[in-house]
Amino acid sequence: MATTYAVETVVLQHLKHQTDHLNDIDKDAFDCVSAIIEDEQEHHDHAFENFDQNSLMAKALIKVVSLCTEGVIRFGMR
Say if CB 5 and CB 66 are below 8 A apart: no
* Residue number, 16 or 43, with CB nearest to Fe ion: 43
* Residue number, 41 or 58, with CB nearest to Fe ion: 41
| Minimal distance, residue 67 CB to Fe ion, in Å | 18
Residue count, binding to Fe ion (CB under 5 A):
2
Question: Of residues 39-78, which lie at the interface with Fe ion (CB under 5 A)?
Answer: 40, 43
Question: Of residues 1-40, which lie at the interface with Fe ion (CB under 5 A)?
Answer: 40
**CB-side neighbour CA atoms (13 Å) of 22:** 15
Give the Cα separation of 34 and 78 in Å (integer): 23
Give the Cα separation of 6 and 67 in Å (integer): 9
Binding site for Fe ion (CB under 5 A): 40, 43
